């Protein structure tokens, strides 16, 4: 027997979520984002599960791309943050990696590289997020210098990233799209007609068909959680991929006035039954989870009580029928959306999934 804590990863749900993204944007190519260990789900397993349908993959850095190559993934792999040193351009050329070019240092590194095969590049435009990318007024000149270079394949993709795509009350996505179209027009006006473009992340794939371009870049939606904090028709069709489960490892009854856990952060107001669960912040369950965060014990929602420990949490199961050691617990997944846990912790489901440490075995089905 082993510790009952594990993350079940439903690869069919993953494929279904990919198919949904592709069906919502039939004229776009859908590039799964598998950075950060595929948002905690296991980068190699996720890429292998999508290898037959995905035209390319997106990762943050070259180290991630090389792990995929070593695992036999043959598709182009886009480095979303581009290169961090000139020698990475050589490796990218050898390994068939695509490079984001987000600034002049990266541009010069590609232009000056001594490479036998040209590389594919994506040109990043800063349309208002102010994190990466060239100012819109510079992109025509940058595009020109890239397309003149023998180091770079003809088909350059012009790309940008949305800052507020999940916020329907904001008009910032419209502003970013307008800025993007102006930048693209400025490039086209120099006679470039090979232009390809890319904008949409999960939220805009689901809710903004007008943002779909040659390439869409879904991340979070592939893993079956909604990027929105309200219901949305397409998001409602997503299937959770990770179900984090554990089991009851101890049960006790306590009296009124008795406290539970480190620092005695919860005090019983009635005679209570406390179940101890074998999962803690060392297993990616957030230490910030307050009293009242929902936990499913035998499929029924019960409130977390007391502080989250490194290896355990405690749950008030007073209202359940007999709870016993070994009973099943779901922390998030098929029956409890990760976003609900995240709300209690003032964070995003993105963070909870992505921080899942290696101590938690991933079991693929």
Ligand X SMILES: *Cc1c(COP(=O)(O)O)cnc(C)c1O
Stretch that binds ligand X, among 212-220, 268-276, 341-349, 354-362 (CB under 6 A): 212-220
Name the residue with tokens 């000149």: 141
**x/- letters, 122..161, toward ligand X (CB under 6 A):** ---------------------------------------x
Interaction pattern, residues 316-335, with ligand X; x per rule: CB under 6 A: --------------------
Q: CA-CA distance, 217 to 349, in Å (whole number)?
A: 18
By CB under 6 A, name the one of 217, 224, 274, 315 that touches ligand X: 217
| Residue 319: partners with Cβ closer than 8 Å, 6 or more residues away | 302
Q: Is 240 in the site for ligand X (CB under 6 A)?
A: no
- Residue 64 vs 316, nearer CB to ligand X: 64
262 catalytic, yes or no?
Answer: yes
Closest CA to 130 of 88, 172, 182: 172
Q: How far apart are CA 262 and CA 128, in angstroms?
A: 44
| Cβ contacts of 18 within 8 Å, gap of 6 or more | 30, 32, 50, 53, 54, 218, 222
Among 40, 42, 133, 219, binds ligand X (CB under 6 A): 219
In the chain the beta strands, taken as DSSP E runs, fall at 6-9, 29-30, 57-59, 77-79, 97-101, 121-124, 157-159, 196-198, 215-216, 242-254, 259-260, 266-267, 272-277, 294-297, 300-303, 313-316, 328-332, 362-364
Q: Select 224 or 284, whichever has its Cβ closest to ligand X.
A: 224
Q: Is 223 a catalytic residue?
A: no
Q: Residue with CB nearest ligand X?
A: 219
Residue 24: C-alpha distances to residues 44, 58, 66, 174, 181 (Å): 26, 19, 31, 20, 22
Q: Are strands 242-254 and 215-216 parallel, antiparallel or unpaired?
A: unpaired
Quick one: which of 145, 162, 269 has its CA closest to 205? 162
Residue 349 near ligand X by CB under 6 A: no
Q: Which stretch binds ligand X (CB under 6 A): 43-51, 216-224, 256-264, 271-279?
A: 216-224
Q: Beta 294-297 vs 300-303: how paired, if at all?
A: antiparallel
As measured in angstroms, the least distance from the Cβ of 162 to ligand X is 8
Nearer to ligand X, 133 or 284 (CB): 133
| Residue 43 binds ligand X, judged by CB under 6 A | no
Q: Is 202 in the site for ligand X (CB under 6 A)?
A: yes
- Residues 72-91 binding ligand X (CB under 6 A) are 80
Assess 220 for contact with ligand X (CB under 6 A): yes
Q: Are 213 and 161 in contact (CB under 8 A)?
A: no
User: Out of 107, 262, 285, 350, which one is annotated catalytic?
Assistant: 262
35, 39, 107, 143: which is the annotated catalytic residue? 35
| Residue 201 sits in the site that holds ligand X (CB under 6 A) | yes
Closest approach, Cβ 31 to ligand X, in A, equals 9
In contact, 181 and 146? CB cutoff 8 Å = no
Q: Which residues are catalytic?
A: 35, 262
Applying CB under 6 A, which residues contact ligand X? Answer: 33, 35, 80, 161, 201-202, 217-220, 227
């Amino acid at each position: 027997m082993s510790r009952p804590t594990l993350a079940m990863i439903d690869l069919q749900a993953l494929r279904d979520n990919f198919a949904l993204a592709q069906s919502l944007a039939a004229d776009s190519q859908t590039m799964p984002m598998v950075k950060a260990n595929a948002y905690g789900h296991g980068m190699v397993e996720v890429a292998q599960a999508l290898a037959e349908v995905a035209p390319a993959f997106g990762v943050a850095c070259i180290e991630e791309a090389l792990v995929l190559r070593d695992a036999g993934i043959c598709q182009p792999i886009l480095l979303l943050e581009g290169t961090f040193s000139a020698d990475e351009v050589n490796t990218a050329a050898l390994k068939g990696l695509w490079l984001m070019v987000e600034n002049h240092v990266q541009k010069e590194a590609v232009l000056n590289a001594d490479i036998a095969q040209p590389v594919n590049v994506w040109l990043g435009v800063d349309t208002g997020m102010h994190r990466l990318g060239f100012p819109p007024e510079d992109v025509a000149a940058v595009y020109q210098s890239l397309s003149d270079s023998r180091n770079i394949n003809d088909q350059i993709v012009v790309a940008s990233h949305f800052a507020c795509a999940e916020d329907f009350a904001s008009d910032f996505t419209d502003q970013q799209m307008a800025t993007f179209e102006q930048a693209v027009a400025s490039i086209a006006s120099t006679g470039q007609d090979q232009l390809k473009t890319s904008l949409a992340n999960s939220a805009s794939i689901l809710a903004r068909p007008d943002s779909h371009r040659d390439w869409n870049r879904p991340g979070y939606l592939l893993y079956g959680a909604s990027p929105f904090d309200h219901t949305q028709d397409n998001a409602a069709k997503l299937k959770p991929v990770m179900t984090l489960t554990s089991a009851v490892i101890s049960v006790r009854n306590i009296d009124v006035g008795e406290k539970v856990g480190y620092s005695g952060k919860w005090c019983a107001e009635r005679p209570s039954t406390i179940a101890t669960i074998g999962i803690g912040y060392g297993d990616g369950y957030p230490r910030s989870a307050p009293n009242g965060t929902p936990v499913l014990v035998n499929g029924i929602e019960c409130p977390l009580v007391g502080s989250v420990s490194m290896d355990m949490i405690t749950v008030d199961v007073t209202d359940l029928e007999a709870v016993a050691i070994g009973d099943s617990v779901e922390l998030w997944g098929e029956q409890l959306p990760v976003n609900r846990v995240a709300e209690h912790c003032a964070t995003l489901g993105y963070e909870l999934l992505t921080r899942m440490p290696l101590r938690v075995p991933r079991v693929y089905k």
